[in-house]
A and B are shown apart, each in its own frame.
Chain A
Amino acid sequence: MQVLIDRYHPDTSPYTQCYDVDESMLSEGMMLLQLLQHLREQDPSLGFRSSCQEGVCGSDGMNINGKNGLSCITLVRDLGQRIHLRPLPGFAVIKDLIVDLGPFYQHYQAIKPRLAPEPSVAADLGQELLQTPEERAKLDGSYECILCGCCSSSCPSFWWNPDLFPGPAALLAVQRFVVDSRDIQRKERLEALNSATSIFRCRHIQNCTAACPKGLNPSRAIQALKHELLSQ
């Protein structure tokens, strides 16, 4: 089996390295991350991020055979005899599979991802802000985002305007607060998206939804946000 990895170090020109992997070392149910760790034991210079190894921290987003995903929850056996790994597209590469997610985080920060409850109620720690199960259910599908970047990295609108278009992850985060019954800044959050270079750059090609390793649907969230914004 062959594993091809797009290698990059600023001191040399980029190249694709081919690792021949003996299939006897692959265990049943082995994840791609384990394979990468194995490769790094032989070649310590191989660069990739990882942390939780179970798909909840979002460290190890990468492009796997042309599709973005998390290496720790991608089965090696599903990837065929030739696995080609590339860094997440649309971001500056720092080293090998490590990209600079700075712009991605900045968009997240820019949407003010913080619950803004009624200040008088929020100051009272003697009681909870009540929320019915139905109101809470509206948050399902948006609060679970792990900020891995797989969605934004697969979005042409984000590739074109990485500095202006918030990208699916940040817009999903907006939706998380817009639908939260405890939040009082719904209007401001929507108004902040009302420019030609923000949410309306999304053309709903749904690459984001196809890429999301957590099975979330940013495209639908963006559609819902547009609808809210238009019916304001």
Chain B
Amino acid sequence: MSALSQALTYQTFHFDVVIIGAGGAGLRAALALRQQGHKVAVVSKVFPTRSHTVSAQGGINAALGNAGDDQWQWHLYDTIKGSDYLGDQDAIEVMCQDAPKIVRELEHMGVPFSRQEDGKIYQRAFGGQSQHYGKSQAKRTCAAADRTGHAILHALYQQNLHAGTEIFSEYFALDLLRQNGSDLLICGVLVQNLQTSELSVLWAKHTLLATGGAGQIFRTNSNASINTGDGLGMAQRAGIPLQDMEFWQFHPTGVAGKGMLISEATRGEGGILRNANGEAFMGRYAPKVKELASRDVVTRAIALEVEQGRGCGPAQDHVLLDLTHLPHDVIENRLPGIREISRTFLGIDPLEAPIPIFPTCHYMMGGIPTNLEGQVILPKQPMGANHSEQIAVPGLFAIGECACVSVHGANRLGGNSLLDIVVFGRRAANAIHQALLMAPHELAVTEDTSNISALLQRYQRWLEPANPETELTVFSLKTELQKIMERHCGVFRDQAHMQQAVNQLEHLEHQFAALRLHDQSALFNFERSSALELENLLAVAKATAYSALARQESRGAHSRVDFSERDDQNWLKHTLFYAEKAQLTYKPVNLTPKHHAPFVPEKRVY
């Protein structure tokens, strides 16, 4: 069969819920829905345990109070402060309140958390955590050594195996299915089997995006190669705006020059950052908590040290993370994975020598706008006066890194991402369960009343062979994209650079439009899947550059040289970027938690 005729035929399946992404968020939601007896499919472009949740190291935050006093209210305060007051306080409240139960539930599912002497879950200190609203350092991060993500993802996969969740492993989600005529009703997803290139239409009453991050838009990143923002690209193409895309977390401690993550747990266990003079410089930037300041603060400190000529190494391009003073058993028992990474990628044993580190792109605070139940929402009148009125997109949910609830605001606290995925994975599943109980009827949409033919038409392009002469390849374009973003939208930003990013991305988009494939094989065609991923990366990068250029202030991870202060008067609001006309609009931040007095924005000092 030729590639062409394969593309035009497709199989059809019907589900109650289709979940795209088999990381922690997707699997948590799938488990809850499956246990309620719904017909669930999980689509993943890699085998579930290869999802990027597996790389999470340090832990998951919950005010269990196992290692000293703790309350969810303090967790709430820390997270809001960490978010530089851009996080929605009602959402953060829900997350912090749910956290202890969620972590115990994970523990009951078999996650092998490290333990304290009294048999309870071990909790370590992480950046930005405090007791009594900023008074003293808290220990809130529940850890399974430094492999917490691995432990959680495997446990969730095991539970899903037991529950009998149907998993479409190594299937790539191409686009969301929409009902014609309606404003926006999502009714499933068009997927492609990566092994055979066969297309399938998965009709679903509810579609849940859990596709994770898109750190691959930056050259130096801690993300897996699969983190290409596929859910964000699909959402954008379906006409949904992206929220707060200017906020990208650069993790302070990436392996210098390579980008692999060295967990914040290293600093939580007592690691110290030193510059070329051997000075523990964090005291100058965060006098009180030093290394355990929020990630954006530490990252800027490191970048400044290097910029001001106090970097280490022959090129003076990194600083050192010193663990040599820690007791050996702390490194061996609490940080074995870090030791392994350091030895493998740097040939350095942290027991004996400090680790060269430099900030690396780590996490996307922005994403697909959702409400507290994970339902995708958008302004009723995008460009109207009343921005606060939001409507839900029927049939579409989003959770985890690809979503923006927003619990992380302008800067995420370490240990809150694993919490985010599990809390909102569960909440979205509950909401979908309720929706299915209320409206159990089958979907009314058919092939003729959906956008399938338009999607297939779009796909046709990948069946046209490339001109063998062309220099243009998917790989060269991706490299170019990563360079543009790193150069112009990195840790420190300014008007001129970001404008260049916008211009260059426009150019890149034109080049991408001309891109065709050299490899026409139907069997594991990586050139094609890379091109599909690049399309999504481009969408994410563009949203980032436009949103960042417009925000004329410094807040959290968005740090501008030309607007160095936070401006609550004008910018205490969420960005929404509409791709179609590259338009921006804004919506207010929620400042009213339900069970606590509001937290009024204050100057952020650590």
Residues of A within 8 A of B (CB): 9-10, 29, 31, 40-41, 44-47, 49-59, 73, 94-95, 98, 101, 105, 109, 112-115, 117, 122, 125-133, 135-136, 139, 143-144, 146-147, 177, 180, 182, 215
Cross-chain pairs A/B with CB under 8 angstroms, 29 sampled: A40-B475, A40-B526, A41-B476, A44-B518, A46-B526, A49-B46, A51-B225, A52-B50, A52-B54, A53-B224, A53-B225, A54-B55, A54-B345, A55-B341, A56-B147, A73-B345, A94-B524, A112-B162, A115-B109, A125-B101, A130-B119, A131-B115, A132-B117, A133-B114, A143-B112, A143-B151, A144-B150, A180-B112, A182-B110
B161 at interface, CB cutoff 8 A: yes
| From A9, A101, A112, A127, contact of B47 by CB (8 A) | A101
Within 8 A of A (CB), among B375-427: none
CB contacts (< 8 Å) of A126 on chain B: these are: 104
B155 at interface, CB cutoff 8 A: yes
Identify the closest chain B residue to A9 (Cβ).
B523
Please tell me if the beta carbons of B519 and A131 are within 8 angstroms of each other in the complex: no
Identify the closest chain A residue to B53 (Cβ).
A57
Cβ distance B469 to chain A, nearest Cβ, rounded Å: 15
B352 at interface, CB cutoff 8 A: no
CB contacts (< 8 Å) of A10 on chain B: these are: 523
Please tell me if the beta carbons of A57 and B110 are within 8 angstroms of each other in the complex: no
| From B55, B107, B474, contact of A52 by CB (8 A) | B55
| From B120, B341, B346, B475, contact of A128 by CB (8 A) | B120
Query: Total contacts A to B, CB within 8 angstroms?
Result: 147
B217 at interface, CB cutoff 8 A: no
Given A55-B344, A58-B50, A112-B162, do A127 and B55 touch, yes or no (CB 8 Å)?
A: no
Cβ distance B296 to chain A, nearest Cβ, rounded Å: 23
Q: A55-B340, A125-B105 are in contact. List 10 more A-B contacts (CB 8 A).
A: A44-B473, A52-B52, A54-B341, A55-B344, A57-B50, A113-B161, A130-B120, A143-B144, A180-B110, A215-B340
Please tell me if the beta carbons of A129 and B114 are within 8 angstroms of each other in the complex: no
Identify the closest chain B residue to A115 (Cβ).
B110
Please tell me if the beta carbons of A59 and B46 are within 8 angstroms of each other in the complex: yes
What 6 A-B pairs come out closest when comparing CB atoms?
A: A115-B110, A130-B119, A44-B527, A57-B50, A41-B475, A44-B519
Identify the closest chain A residue to B476 (Cβ).
A41
CB contacts (< 8 Å) of B517 on chain A: these are: 44
Please tell me if the beta carbons of B50 and A59 are within 8 angstroms of each other in the complex: yes
Interface of A is mostly: loop
| From A31, A112, A115, A135, contact of B155 by CB (8 A) | A115
| Interface residues of B, count at CB 8 A | 62
Given A53-B224, A105-B47, do A114 and B158 touch, yes or no (CB 8 Å)?
A: yes
Chain B positions 466 through 478: 1 when the CB is less than 8 Å from some CB of chain A, otherwise 0: 0000000111100
A57-B50 Cα distance, complex, nearest whole Å: 4
Given A59-B46, A114-B158, do A136 and B114 touch, yes or no (CB 8 Å)?
A: yes
Please tell me if the beta carbons of B526 and A47 are within 8 angstroms of each other in the complex: yes
| From B54, B118, B161, B345, contact of A57 by CB (8 A) | B54
